Amino acid sequence: MIKEQVSIDEVIALLNEALNLDRKAISKLCATRVSCNEELAVHKTIQVGAVTIPTNNHHVIEYEMGILGILNGLFGIRDDNGWGAIVAIIEDDPYEWDYPEVIRFERTPEKARRIQT
């Protein structure tokens, strides 16, 4: 059955189910970033990161995105902090793998703050 509508909580439940089935794969998928252009970077709801790269005479800005930025784009951004609806909670300890281990997905807390970019 195809669903025409899904809620934030349904997406979070699916992400957590997938995480429980294969934590390593889902963690790697969430850590994967691909380059994108500025047109996508300035989209109203899709979340995209900017990386500043110093060169000889100036700085170059490159944009990159991941799967969570696209999923958050479905639900818009919060008025109070510009964050998307869903966050990935990652392990604080040194990474066992070459990328952060996702512990769980949840709704973005009201007082969300950026820990690392």
Higher per-residue confidence, 1 vs 80: 1
pLDDT (0 to 100) of residue 92: 73
pLDDT (0 to 100) of residue 117: 35
Q: 85, 108 in Cβ contact below 8 A?
A: yes
pLDDT (0 to 100) of residue 115: 47
pLDDT (0 to 100) of residue 58: 84
Q: 8, 75 in Cβ contact below 8 A?
A: yes
Q: Read off the tokens for 10.
A: 């349904």
Mean pLDDT, residues 83-93 taken together: 88
Please report the DSSP string for 18-84 in residue order: HHHH-HHHHHHHHH--EEE-HHHHT-SSS--EEEEEE-SSSEEEEEEE-HHHHHHHHH---TTT---
> Where are the domains positioned within the chain?
8-107
Per-residue pLDDT tens for 16-73?
A: 999 999 999 999 999 999 999 999 999 999 999 998 888 888 888 999 999 999 999 9
